[in-house]
């Protein structure tokens, strides 16, 4: 057995690999002469053995990996070495591996009546999710890094992407979802500190974070088209906290896991609602609560065109999410066993005025609309210029990264009605129409039978779908609206006529 142990530079994590190589002929071990080549950061074994013509030999190499973050691990080198020595032969290991996948597919497969290509792609995506959020995840204090295992972009940072996989996992592997929520809970202290530092109350989860939950969002972004470093204001995407609230609540709705809600989930929900209540302010002229200096999920808009400061006023997605979560936050405590609810109230110092403030916000958050009733992505969006998409496409071909293209030409995406990915329409992805109608009516805004379809059509014509999740969300919404499903290509904006707005019946997961 040969082994190598390394330590990562920043997190001081030890990682060891151990390898056992055996040679067999006719099922019997073959005598092998071994030579070791070793330097400080490299190890290799050379094998010499007799070969006879037409007599096959089988070289079998088993490798184990152990890290100092694995539970029940002392020295990683010892652990990796012991595991590889104890490991059975290849055939048995392969058998176990296949058995594990077979079980996973029985639990996680989604079958469609569509053509094989669709089925194949669906399974590819499920496979990706299961590689990143595996059954080991809950034991590893791991979140959902943006690129999973498929690339080093985003440096392994955790954003809000778990929102897209939570429901799938909660229905199939709820223990994994719970593990992901616990990952957030362990970083609640950091989120509280972040809120306090920014002058807010409650817990503000950072837009990008890593191992310890501190804000890792870069302040500068390299535009490869111009070679220039440009300011990165994405830290204003506070909506990540709303996504975590959503995930906690839906996990509870799907699983009914009251112990989780009691011990950890409710605390996160309360602290997140408290955060938003401290970010919002009441505008007496409108008699509504407003939220300023935030960005929605669309990252093309970071600020108003000539503004020096980052952030926008009243991002509709954020404000509606806040109205929704404020309506729920107060209702969570009564779901808990009384002693726990009382303990939480006293430990977190929750007072009656706060509960009524949340209730009031759930009825009086401000949502901006265009003159024709379309929900405005944020206040002032309607005044922005229309982009000539046709001309852009003709000139650049792939225009998914319009922001980089425009900036490299000295222009500014903030000037235009363009979106990188689903923003307002995320609402139609996350909630069924019936829920949104209730939500809007609770806010005393009109929600018409064609509200979803009109908004989706409006946004689709102005979205570059630069991110992989965005076409997925757009497709899901389209199916929900009864429109035709068509794959979005690079630089392709979806244009579709939603035939009839279909209101699906209420599911258990719906609040």
Can you tell me the distance from the alpha carbon of 190 to that of 113, in angstroms, rounded to the nearest whole number?
46
Please report, as residue ranges, which positions from 249 to 308 form the binding site for ligand IFM (by CB under 6 A). Answer: 297, 299
Question: What is residue 273's three-state secondary structure?
Answer: helix
Q: Output phi, psi for 343, to 5 deg.
A: -65, -40
Can you tell me the distance from the alpha carbon of 369 to that of 362, in angstroms, rounded to the nearest whole number?
18
Q: Does 389 bind ligand IFM (CB under 6 A)?
A: no
Which stretch in 21-29, 83-91, 156-164, 326-334 sits in contact with ligand IFM by CB under 6 A? 156-164
Q: Is 495 exposed, middle or buried (0-12, 13-18, 19+ CB in 10 A)?
A: exposed
299 among known catalytic residues: yes
Q: Is 168 exposed, middle or buried (0-12, 13-18, 19+ CB in 10 A)?
A: middle
Can you tell me the distance from the alpha carbon of 146 to that of 166, in angstroms, rounded to the nearest whole number?
14
Smallest gap from Cβ 420 to ligand IFM, in A, equals 7
Question: What is residue 306's three-state secondary structure?
Answer: coil
Q: Does 160 bind ligand IFM (CB under 6 A)?
A: yes
Can you tell me the distance from the alpha carbon of 420 to that of 377, in angstroms, rounded to the nearest whole number?
12
Which stretch in 4-12, 159-167, 454-462, 499-507 sits in contact with ligand IFM by CB under 6 A? 159-167
- Helix (H) / strand (E) element for 39: namely strand 33-39
- Binding residues for ligand IFM, rule CB under 6 A, total 8
Q: Does 159 bind ligand IFM (CB under 6 A)?
A: yes
Token output for 14: 């030890």
**SS3 track for 89-115:** CHHHHHHHHHHHHHHHHHHHCCCCCCC
Q: Does 154 bind ligand IFM (CB under 6 A)?
A: yes
Question: Are 62 and 90 contacting, i.e. CB atoms less than 8 angstroms apart?
Answer: yes
DSSP 138-202: GGTT---BTTTTS--GGGG-B-STHHHHHHHHHHH-HHHHHHHHHHHHTTHHHHHHHHHHTT-SS
Smallest gap from Cβ 297 to ligand IFM, in A, equals 5
Of 242 and 336, nearer to ligand IFM (C-beta) is 242
Q: Does 215 bind ligand IFM (CB under 6 A)?
A: no
Question: Are 84 and 1 contacting, i.e. CB atoms less than 8 angstroms apart?
Answer: yes
Site string for ligand IFM, 90-129 (x = CB under 6 A): ----------------------------------------
Q: Does 379 bind ligand IFM (CB under 6 A)?
A: no
Of 354 and 423, nearer to ligand IFM (C-beta) is 423
Q: Does 474 bind ligand IFM (CB under 6 A)?
A: no
- The CB-side HSE value for 231 (13 A sphere, CA atoms) comes to 11
What lies within 8 Å, CB to CB, of 481 at 6+ separation is: 428, 452, 453, 456, 498, 499, 500, 501, 502
Smallest gap from Cβ 113 to ligand IFM, in A, equals 31
Which stretch in 97-105, 158-166, 192-200, 350-358 sits in contact with ligand IFM by CB under 6 A? 158-166
Smallest gap from Cβ 238 to ligand IFM, in A, equals 13
In the set 190, 216, 271, 299, the catalytic residue is 299
Please report, as residue ranges, which positions from 123 to 152 form the binding site for ligand IFM (by CB under 6 A). Answer: 146
Of 20 and 401, nearer to ligand IFM (C-beta) is 401
Q: Does 467 bind ligand IFM (CB under 6 A)?
A: yes
Can you tell me the distance from the alpha carbon of 495 to that of 478, in angstroms, rounded to the nearest whole number?
11
CA-angle at 436, arms to 382 and 310, nearest 5°:
40
Which residues pair with residue 7 across a beta bridge?
14
Q: Does 460 bind ligand IFM (CB under 6 A)?
A: no
Residues near ligand IFM (CB under 6 A): 146, 154, 159-161, 297, 299, 467
Report, as residue numbers or ranges, the catalytic residues. 299
């Amino acid at each position: 057995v040969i082994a190598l142990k390394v330590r990562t530079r920043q997190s001081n994590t030890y990682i060891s690999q151990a390898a056992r190589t055996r040679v067999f002929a006719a099922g019997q071990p073959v005598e092998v002469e071994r030579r070791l080549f070793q330097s400080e950061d490299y190890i290799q074994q050379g094998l010499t053995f007799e070969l006879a013509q037409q007599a096959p030999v089988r070289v079998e190499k088993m490798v184990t990996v152990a890290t100092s973050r694995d539970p029940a691990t002392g020295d990683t080198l010892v652990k990796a070495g012991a595991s590889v020595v104890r490991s059975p032969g290849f055939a048995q290991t392969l058998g176990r591996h296949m058995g594990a996948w077979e079980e996973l597919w029985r639990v996680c497969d989604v079958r469609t009546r569509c053509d094989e290509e669709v089925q194949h792609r669906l399974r590819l995506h499920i496979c990706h999710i299961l590689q990143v959020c595996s059954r080991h995840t809950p034991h590893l204090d791991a979140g959902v890094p943006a690129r999973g295992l498929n690339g080093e972009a985003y440096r392994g940072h955790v954003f809000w992407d778990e929102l897209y996989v939570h429901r799938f996992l909660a229905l199939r592997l709820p223990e994994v979802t719970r593990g992901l929520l616990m990952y957030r809970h362990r970083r609640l202290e950091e989120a509280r500190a972040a809120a306090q530092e920014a002058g807010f109350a409650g817990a503000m989860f950072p837009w990008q974070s890593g191992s310890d939950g501190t804000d890792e969002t870069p302040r500068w972004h390299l535009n490869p088209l111009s070679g220039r470093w440009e300011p990165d204001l994405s830290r204003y995407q506070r909506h990540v906290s709303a996504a975590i609230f959503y995930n906690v609540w839906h996990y509870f709705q799907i699983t009914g896991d009251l112990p989780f809600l009691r011990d950890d989930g409710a605390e996160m929900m309360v602290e997140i609602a408290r955060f938003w209540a401290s970010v919002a302010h009441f505008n007496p002229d409108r008699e509504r609560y407003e939220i300023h200096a935030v960005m929605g999920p669309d990252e093309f808009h970071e600020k108003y065109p000539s503004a020096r400061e980052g952030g926008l006023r009243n991002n509709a997605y954020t404000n509606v999410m806040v109205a929704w979560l404020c309506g729920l936050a107060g209702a969570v405590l009564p779901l808990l066993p009384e002693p726990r609810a009382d303990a939480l109230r006293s430990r977190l110092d929750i007072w009656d005025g706060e509960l009524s403030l949340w209730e009031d916000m759930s009825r009086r958050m401000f949502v901006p609309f265009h003159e024709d009733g379309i929900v405005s992505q944020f206040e002032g969006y309607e005044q922005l210029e229309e982009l000539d998409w046709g001309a852009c496409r003709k000139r650049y071909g792939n225009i998914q990264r319009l922001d980089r293209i425009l900036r490299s030409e000295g222009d500014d995406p903030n000037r235009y009605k363009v979106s990188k990915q689903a923003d307002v329409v995320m609402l139609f992805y996350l909630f069924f129409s019936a829920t949104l109608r209730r939500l809007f009516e609770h806010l005393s805004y009109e929600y018409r039978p064609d509200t979803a379809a009109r908004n989706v059509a409006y946004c689709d014509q102005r979205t570059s779908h630069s991110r992989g999740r965005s076409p997925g969300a757009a497709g899901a919404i389209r199916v929900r609206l009864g429109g035709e499903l068509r794959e979005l290509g690079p630089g392709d904006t979806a244009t579709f006529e939603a035939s009839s707005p279909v209101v699906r019946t209420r599911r258990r997961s719906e609040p």
